[in-house]
Amino acid sequence: MKRTALYPGTFDPITFGHMDVIRRAADLFDRVIVTIAVNPSKHTLFSLRERRKQIERAVQDIPRAEVAECDGLLVDFALQNGAVAIVRGVRAVSDFDYEFQMALTNRKLAEKITTVFLMPHERYAYLNSSIVREVARLGGRVDCFVPDFVAAALEKKFRDVKS
Ligand code: COA
C-alpha torsion 119→124→128→129, nearest 10: -120
Which residues does a 6 A CB cutoff place in the pocket of ligand 1?
8-10, 12, 15, 17-18, 21, 37, 73-74, 89, 102, 105-106, 120, 124, 127-130
Q: How many A from CA of 26 to the centre of ligand 1?
A: 19
pTM of the predicted structure, to 2 decimals: 0.94
Confidence at 163, pLDDT banded by 50, 70, 90: low
For 58-92, how does the pLDDT look when each residue is reduced to its tens digit (9 = 90+)? 999 999 999 999 999 999 999 999 999 999 999 88
Classify residue 113 by its DSSP letter: P
Q: What span, in angstroms and rounded, lies between the C-alpha atoms of 60 and 30? A: 16
Amino acid letter, residue 114: T
2, 42, 108, 162: the active-site residue: 42
Q: What is the pLDDT of residue 10?
A: 97
Instruction: Give the burial class of 71: count Cβ atoms within 10 A of its Cβ; 0-12 exposed, 13-18 middle, 19 or more buried.
Output: exposed
Rg (CA), the chain: 16
DSSP conformation letters of 44-99 = -SS-HHHHHHHHHHHTTTSTTEEEEEE-S-HHHHHHHTTEEEEEEE--SGGGHHHH
For 123-132, how does the pLDDT look when each residue is reduced to its tens digit (9 = 90+)? 998 999 999 9
- Whether 91 sits among the annotated catalytic residues: the reply is yes
